[in-house]
Chain A
Amino acid sequence: MNIAAADWQALWLTLKLAGLTTLLLFIIGVPLAWKLSQWQSRWRHGIEVLITLPLVLPPTVLGFYLLLLFSPNYAPGQWLSQLFDGPLVFSFTGLVFASVIYSLPFMVQPLLAAFNANGQRLTQAAAALGIPPWAALLKVLLPASRAAIVSACALTFAHTLGEFGVVLMIGGAIPGETQVVSIALYQHVEAMEYGAAHRLALMLMGITTVLLLAARWLGHRLAPRGSNNEQAKPVVGVLG
């Protein structure tokens, strides 16, 4: 297979974006899902809807609002520009920022399902042995939710790999900076370079399939055998 250097670059950029997004979302998603699962307030539903929005909104809608948010014409954009030492529009940092928002439900939903199923019972049991809440999260809840964590990370990674609309709106197609595989593929099709498009599309499909299979296998291995806990089921595709 003859793949151009620019396409390799796009592939590397895509993997870097997906990896970084998954890592950041894991750090954000675990405490967020945990707090949400413990929160009894009616505001919880509002927050859950907000987190789920990127699932149902067309990516261009999200991209449009992010474009406004990043715009140096408004205060948030100015502040973000200062914070990240340059405008976020058409930059890799902006892409990471957007991906974190865009893929948030893919990390939070599987974790929330697992924490809702077992979280309260296990944290109560932990507290009843004198284990403080944060230790209960790290030492009791996370080990009990391993299968869900694998699911959440695999979904987040795979979903970020295929991101298109948001990148198009705020990232553009700067090679080595914001030109991810989906954009490069789109450009190949527009230029009627079907051979190159095939090669990229097949590669992305291969990577995603292997990733999901690996996650499923790992989920099976980590899921406690003989258990009928909701979280224990290997759930790649908990969202459908």
Chain B
Amino acid sequence: MEITLPLFGTASTTSDSTGLSVTGLVTSLNAATPWQLELPASGVFGLTGPSGSGKSTLLAALAGQRHCRGHITFANTVWQRGRRALATHKRTLSLGFQDSRLFAGQSVADNLALARRYSRRPLPEEECGRLLEAFGIEPLLYQPVELLSGGEAQRVAVLRQLFNNAPLQLFDEPLSAVDRAQVLRRLLPTLRDFWARYPALVIWTSHDFDEIQLLAQRCLWMDSANLSAPLPLPEVAQRLDSHGVGDSCRSRIEARVESLNDGLLTLDLGGISIFADRVAGHYRKGDTAAFLLEAGDISLSVEKPGLSSILNCLQVTLVAKQNLTDGRIRLRLAAADQVFYADISRLSCERLELREGTTYFAQFKAGSLAGL
């Protein structure tokens, strides 16, 4: 029987996978454990793990900028087979580097224009304008890129990649130098919103698990050059904890947008209304919004509390208790099909006589919803 293989570097219909397919990828870093990866044609995936585990090497190998062996196919096009590799600029991808790598000697506007000029799916003018505003780049537009601060350069670099709008977008710790509050409140919601309207396969590498939680549903984990398949976020959070990489504990929660009144966003979490008082303003009724809840920001009561300035009160079920090394107790709570964590002191836990399987009331302020 004759077997037809997809043509090198050209579209072919012999393969079923339209997404990214990586088999037996070997670089100098992972000679013993070839990387395998199957991802769909669109969706946002995190990539995290301890420093030096090979995350940047994986991205460089996917982009054809690092010598490797193996098989890479994207959208039915063979990018690499054995040692034969398609040049980077012929792969329908974009790769952002840790050090921004803006084009020196040009203005911010020139950099963005060049990325758009060589885009295979150029964005409409009004979308570019919307992104410029959301990223706060408008005042910097005609500055030479050498005059930008580290954080500004990173924002421009991410924007340049969005303007390029490649079907596969690889990001390597793209917002590490940007002010955290700005990332959580403004940039991540903008990115999530953007990829909802312009779907692409995105691999977002970061040491900041908050970023990944707010952008992605699943996350790849790399440890000593071992690459996992996409994992659910709680599992990755556990792995980060066990490596001492995770710092604070924030849970990702999803809710539907109900209404927006007086700067207060009302969200529907499985029939329960919750409120957020800092709002990016680009939500519409019916949108799904994801946010982070810091474990330390949640308080627990045995009985339903009376009127309080704390707007959010959820009836929750205590699923599990876990002793933390610093003497606090981490509670795993469930409400409306969603699971989140609350950290309380051992004293509180004893006074409330908390028991697993029992129902309690969790309270948190409307201002503690991060990432909206």
Interface residues of A (CB under 8 A from B): 118, 121-122, 124-133, 135-136, 139-140, 143-146, 222, 224-227, 229, 231-232
Contact = CB atoms under 8 A, between A and B. Distances in A.
Contacts of B94: 128-130
A127 B97 contact: no
B103 A140 contact: yes
B105 A128 contact: no
Interface in B156-182: 160-161, 164, 166
Contacts of B95: 128
Interface of B: 63, 65, 87-89, 92-97, 99, 101-106, 110, 114-115, 118-120, 144-147, 160-161, 164, 166
Nearest to B93: A128
B89 A132 contact: yes
A19 B88 CA distance: 39
Contacts of B88: 124, 127-128
Contacts of A139: 103, 114
6 closest cross-chain pairs (CB), A and B:
A224-B146, A125-B101, A128-B95, A127-B88, A144-B104, A227-B146
A123 B314 CA distance: 53
Given A129-B94, A129-B164, A145 B101 contact: no
Contacts of A122: 101, 103-104
A128 B161 CA distance: 9
Contact of A144 (B99, B105, B147, B164): B105
A229 B89 contact: no
A225 B89 contact: no
Contact of A135 (B102, B105, B118): B118
Given A128-B65, A128-B95, A130-B164, A121 B105 contact: no
A131 B118 contact: yes
B307 to A, nearest CB: 55
8 contacts: A121-B99, A128-B65, A129-B118, A129-B160, A131-B114, A143-B105, A145-B105, A225-B144
A229 B104 contact: yes
Contact of A224 (B104, B119, B164): B104
Contacts of B114: 129, 131, 139-140
A236 B93 CA distance: 40
B97 A125 contact: yes
Nearest to B59: A128
A127 B87 contact: yes
Contacts of A227: 104, 146
Contacts of A129: 94, 114-115, 118, 160-161, 164, 166
Contact of B147 (A143, A222, A226): A226
B275 to A, nearest CB: 42
Interface centre among B89, B105, B120 (most CB of A within 10 A): B105
Contacts of A132: 89
A47 B115 CA distance: 35
Contacts of A127: 65, 87-89
Given A118-B104, A144-B105, A145-B105, A131 B97 contact: no
Question: Taking chain A's interface residues, is the majority helix, strand, or loop, or is none over half, making it mixed?
Answer: helix
A133 B166 CA distance: 18
A222 B103 CA distance: 14
A218 to B, nearest CB: 13
A198 B263 CA distance: 82
A230 to B, nearest CB: 11
Nearest to A229: B104
A144 to B, nearest CB: 4
A121 B110 CA distance: 18
Contacts of B97: 124-125, 128
A226 B146 contact: yes
Nearest to A142: B105
Nearest to A140: B103
A232 B104 contact: yes
A132 B87 CA distance: 9
A51 B9 CA distance: 38
A140 B102 CA distance: 10
Between A129, A130, A222, the greatest number of chain B beta carbons within 10 A of the residue's beta carbon is seen for: A129
Contacts of A130: 89, 92-94, 118-120, 164, 166
Counting chain B CB atoms within 10 Å of each CB, the highest count among A127, A130, A135, A227 belongs to A130
Nearest to B160: A129
A100 to B, nearest CB: 27
Contact of B101 (A124, A133, A135): A124
Contacts of A222: 105
Contacts of B63: 128
Given A139-B114, A146-B105, 6 more contacts: A125-B97, A128-B94, A128-B95, A129-B160, A143-B106, A144-B106
A146 B65 CA distance: 26
B248 to A, nearest CB: 33
A68 to B, nearest CB: 43
B93 to A, nearest CB: 7
A228 to B, nearest CB: 9
B103 A125 contact: yes
Contacts of B146: 224-227, 229, 232
Contacts of A146: 105
B67 to A, nearest CB: 11
B130 to A, nearest CB: 20
A122 B157 CA distance: 13
A193 B330 CA distance: 98
B169 to A, nearest CB: 10
Nearest to B161: A129
